[in-house]
Amino acid sequence: MDPADDGLAQRLRLLDDRLRELGSVLVAFSGGADSAFLLAAAVRALGADQVVAATAVSPSLAAAELPAAAAYAAGLGVRHVTPATDELAREGYVANGADRCFHCKATLLDTLRPLAHELGLAQVATGTNADDAVAGFRPGIRSAAQRGAVTPLLDAGLTKAQVRAASRGWGLVTADKPALACLASRIAYGLAVTPAGLARVDRAETVLRVLLAPTDVRVRDLGADRARVELDAAALRRWTPAGEDAVRAEGFVAVEVREFRSGSMNDLLVGAGAAQQAEQGQPEADG
């Protein structure tokens, strides 16, 4: 925990109080830094027997994330459930417009709420933090709120930096874990989301992580078998032709390489069709 942050201790107390008010909770646990911290905080406040971690399994989840999430939950002594979600059954999700994340979160909460009831848990909680709430309107956040999800990190006013600082103070392995949005965020808006398309960007990113060990890597599917690889600055310096070969092996014909920038796919939201979709809310940033 960063001792220079005078407000962090107070916010952690607020988080503890908020979690105790909930009584019991099903945590929507993606495996990322925010939901991992929330899960740990819930165990501290309520005890492991009043907390369950739920990692939704679907083609949009990177293959490497599930075993890591299971190991983390086991380390906390928390029951870990892996309900299947079928975002691809929703036309709005497959269409991949600016409101895709609304449909994704709708599917998630429509799955987790009855599961929480079945498990005898009072609430479903997401890892939305204070930065998320001020980063522009997010359709996914709106969708989750409409379905009754609670947001303890946001309620306590915890920012992403504070979550990471507190995670380091608690010795959590996820403290410095790079952000990793769902695989659908790699598909350019307007291109249909398919299992095959999600799988190939996952495979390409997995190989690049082995080759380059980067902090951040994205393989963006731009359509027409064009890919844009985005890497953190250190990994960009380590780029070799082997990386391009790995991406081409997944069927991409044209490959460009740039430095990683969160949310860069949102730049492609142009034209009247995208503008009309965006009236429903700005797209989620790709972490």
CATH number assigned to the domain covering 183-278: 3.30.300
For CA atoms 150, 152, 158, 163, the dihedral sign is: negative
Q: Check pLDDT > 50 for residue 282.
A: no
Contact between 214 and 249 under an 8 Å Cβ cutoff? The reply is: no
- Kind plus residue range of the DSSP H or E element containing 257: strand 254-259
CATH 3.40.640.10 for domain 8-169, yes or no, is no
Span 211-219, average pLDDT: 87
Start and end residues for every CATH 3.40.50.620 domain found in the chain: 8-169
H or E stretch at 227: strand 226-231
> Which ranges in the chain are annotated with CATH 3.30.300?
183-278
Q: What is the pLDDT of residues 111-128, one digit of tens each?
A: 999 999 999 999 999 999
What band does 191 get if pLDDT is binned at 50, 70 and 90?
very high
Range in 117-126, 127-136, 164-173 the model is least confident about? 127-136
Looking at residue 268, its pLDDT comes to 61
